[in-house]
Structure 1
Amino acid sequence: MTVDRRSLMIGGGLALGASGRGPAKGAASAAVAEVTGAVQPDLMIDLWPGGPPGMAPVAPAEMVRERSSDPTLTDRALIHIARPRLAVFRARNPNGAAMLVMPGGGYSWVVIDKEGYEIGPWLAQRGVSVFVLFYRLPQDGWAAGADVALSDAQRAMRLIRHRAADFGVDPARVGAMGFSAGGHVCADLATRFATPTYDPVDVADRQAVRPIVAAPIYPVVSMYRPEAHEGSRRNLIGESPDAAAQRLHSPHEQVTPACPPCFLVHAEDDDVVPVENSLLLRRAWRAQGLAVDTHLFMQGGHGFGLRRAAGKPVAVWPELFVEWAVGQDLMST
């Protein structure tokens, strides 16, 4: 991937690990990007003690790419993630709930601001502890391949529950939210939470993985054409995937009666990820008799998050989510 002159690559320590140490020994050779800005999380937690499993012989060199041409408005993306980690936004008045948030990026990068650092404070102000996941990307050569982001999401759910007491979180009230390709990670987690994708590394891996609710927002879902988002499909399962790979990595094909309640939002004029992706997921949830709340908007485009929804009908989606989450015992009024 070409990175322009505004991109930044910084070696060294962004995130102190869960133990408060610097970079883990197993990841010492990886360049790790420093993410700074007006909005900062309260804490960073490394997902994997000793470094993430299955690293390629040449470790990814993380980069932060600024994509905004407006100097007053940041829109950053984290590329070649070497140390998957959680950016923690502590609830201001904790109600016991937590959300694992997975930003998008087409499996080419992970968005930092509009689907991560903007979502964290919004939910934290409403009593929810937020954990923004910077997950690994499959094209960087990890041994887990197309399951590498799911591995990080599974590990994140377990780690949040393992450390629940540190954040005033009820382990039974941890949900998941994702946007675009992060919505695919979210839907993958909600459908394949019980699928082993890595070997246990410590006591945290004894914790449950299933989220209490799942909220894929304008999600990538299908790996089948014509509904598939081509970039996500290519980055996840390659240029010419076989039928088995397409089915395995299409969450609407993996829904079981054990899946959690689901909240969906999509704009009908989305010209990046077709609205049919959400409709496929809705249909699959309903076919299993599962609870699914679906909100479609005529206008909104793709990647609206919170900030880019302003002034459009789709701007009401956060209120709709809060109302739904109250009904799911995730949030309080």
Structure 2
Amino acid sequence: MRLLNRRETLLAASAGGLLGGAAAAASPVAAPGAWPAYPAEEIALWPGTPPGAPAVLPVEQVIETGTAAHHGRMVKGIARPRMKLFRPAKPNGAALLVMPGGGYSVIVIDVEGYQIGPWLSARGWTVFVLYYRLPGEGWAGRADVPLADAQRAMRLIRARARDYGVDPEKIGALGFSAGGHVCGDLATRFATPVYAPIEPADRLSARPALAAPIYAVQSMQAPLAHGGSRDMLLGPDPSPALEAAHSPARNVTPATPPCFLAHAEDDRTVSVENSLEMRAALKAAGVKVETHLFTAGGHGLGLPGPIGAPARNWRTLFALWAQAQGLGLG
């Protein structure tokens, strides 16, 4: 599947097993290059079995498509949704919930989770990398399963903010590709009931202080939709109404938090028009939006060579923007 090829992964490898930090690894693994050790600390989202579970739970697997020095792991079969926690040495009082992509078929945990987590935590953010359930693995109400996990994650971070040294009003969301869809869905449908409350934390707001859907899947409607993500999220032959209900640009309101969008115009996997449509909707609703479009960068904003260099600076642009929104660099 080309969506994963461009980020050092191959869905064709899905016969293998999936992630260090999940069932395939009982202890932290040294990260490639200069990255710190992968975090041992994690937070379970749900007590016991998550809501809407199939009769037979999926079995978690790790697919390694990288090397011993440069991991490229993906995760599927997530029956135990959770967050991995990167604690900063010098906290700035703000937190980010990070949602990796993977076309809703897998979660690309290294490239869009365990690599960005240390970069952000080195700049003061407390970072929670989300392992959300994949909608095509038998869960009831499949289209809302990733959003349910994202809402629950935001509420747990907010409820336990003091324990993490975080201001409960300074929790943002950042997502990539299909994880960018989860991020956009959270930003626009944070108050939509998608699971039954189970404890007082579920009465808290799930609204992020800001949202950053990066090269994000957004529209579930042709011709903009990424077909694989739509099929996995909505199932076969979704109605136009269902597609619209799960297209974040269709759900923007003035209550949507400020958004940061970044996309490469040569992205052949998820059309840049997804971000342009989202920007137009945000502008129409009077929501603050920062938009960065890059000439080159492909799907992942990391094209090697001089022409791709500007796209690799999206992280710094995001950090400066977040600081301007009050989620400072410390």
TM-score, structure 2 length as denominator? 0.90
SS in structure 2 opposite 1:295? strand
The equivalent residue for 2:25 is 34
Cα pair 2:72 2:111 within 8 Å, conserved: yes
Residues in 2 aligned to 1:142 and 1:288: alpha-carbon distance in whole angstroms:
33
SS at match of 2:181: helix
2:228 is paired with a residue whose SS is helix
- Which residue in 2 is equivalent to 1:262? 259
What residue is the counterpart of 2:7 in the other structure?
none
Partner of 1:29: none
Q: Give the superposition deviation at 1:54.
A: 1.2
Amino acid at match of 1:34: A
Unmatched tracts of structure 1, length 5 or more: 16-31
Q: Which of 136-145 and 274-283 deviates more?
A: 136-145
- Return the alpha-carbon distance in structure 2 between the equivalents of residues 183 and 262 of structure 1: 11
- Which structure 2 residues correspond to residues 55-74 of structure 1 after superposition, within 5 A? 55-68=53-66, 70-74=67-71
Partner of 1:131: 128
Q: Is 1:296 aligned to residue 268 of structure 2?
A: no
1:47 is aligned to 45
Q: 2:266, 2:297 within 8 Å by CA — same for their partners in 1?
A: yes
Check 1:281–1:77 CA distance in 2 against 1; reply closer, same or farther (3 A cut).
Answer: same
Which range moved further: 249-258 or 198-207?
198-207
Change (3 A) 1:328 1:289: same
Distance 1:144 1:260 in 2: 26
| Counterpart for residue 18 of structure 1 | none
1:199 — aligned with what?
Answer: 196
Q: Decide whether the 8 Å contact of 1:309 with 1:315 is kept in 2.
A: no
Are positions 1:283 and 2:292 aligned together? no
Contact preservation (8 Å) 1:172, 1:212: yes
Unmatched runs of 5 consecutive residues or more in structure 2: 1-10, 32-37
- What are the equivalent positions in structure 2 for 1:92-103 lying under 5 Å apart? 92-103=89-100
Q: Give, in angstroms, the shift of residue 92 of structure 1.
A: 1.4
Structure 2 match to 1:164: 161
Q: Is the 2:263–2:301 contact (alpha carbons within 8 Å) kept by the matching residues of 1?
A: no
3-state SS in 2 of match to 1:263: strand
Letter in 1 for 2:41: L
The 2-side partners of 1:311 and 1:42 are apart by 34
Cα deviation, residue 322, structure 1: 1.1
Query: Cα offset for 1:73?
Result: 1.5
- 1:107-139 Cα offsets, whole Å, 9 max, x none, are 001111111001111111111000000000110
1:194 Cα deviation (Å)? 0.5
Q: What code does the residue aligned with 1:141 have?
A: G
Retained in 1: the 8 A contact 2:264–2:293? yes
Whether the 8 Å CA contact 1:214–1:262 is kept in 2: the answer is yes
2:207 to 199, 204, 210: 210
AA aligned to 1:166 is D
Secondary structure of the residue aligned to 1:74 is coil
| C-alpha RMSD of the superposition | 2.2
Which segment is superposed worse, 80-89 or 307-316?
307-316
| Cross-structure match for 1:242 | 239
1:80-229 matched pairs, under 5 angstroms: 80-229=77-226
Q: Deviations over 1:29-81 (max 9, x none)?
A: xxx4437532311411110012211110010001000122x443111000111
Contact 2:125 2:329 in 1 (8 A): no
Q: Given residue 49 of structure 1, which amino acid in structure 2 is its aligned partner?
A: P
What is the count of residue pairs matched by the alignment?
A: 313
- Is 1:114–1:305's contact at 8 Å kept on the other side of the alignment? no
Q: Secondary structure at the match of 1:139?
A: coil
Shift of residue 207, structure 1, vs aligned partner: 1.7
Say if 1:254 and 1:232 are closer, same or farther in 2 by CA, change over 3 A. Answer: same
Per the alignment, in what secondary structure is the counterpart of residue 146 of structure 1? helix
SS in 1 for 2:53: coil
Measured after TM superposition, the shift of residue 277 of structure 1 is 0.4
State the 1:299 CA deviation. 0.2
Partner of 1:28: none
Q: Distance in 1 between matches of 2:310 and 2:174?
A: 21
Q: Which runs of 4+ in 1 moved over 6 A?
A: 305-310
| 1:267 and 1:302 in contact (8 A); partners too | yes
The letter for the 2-side match of 1:63 is Q
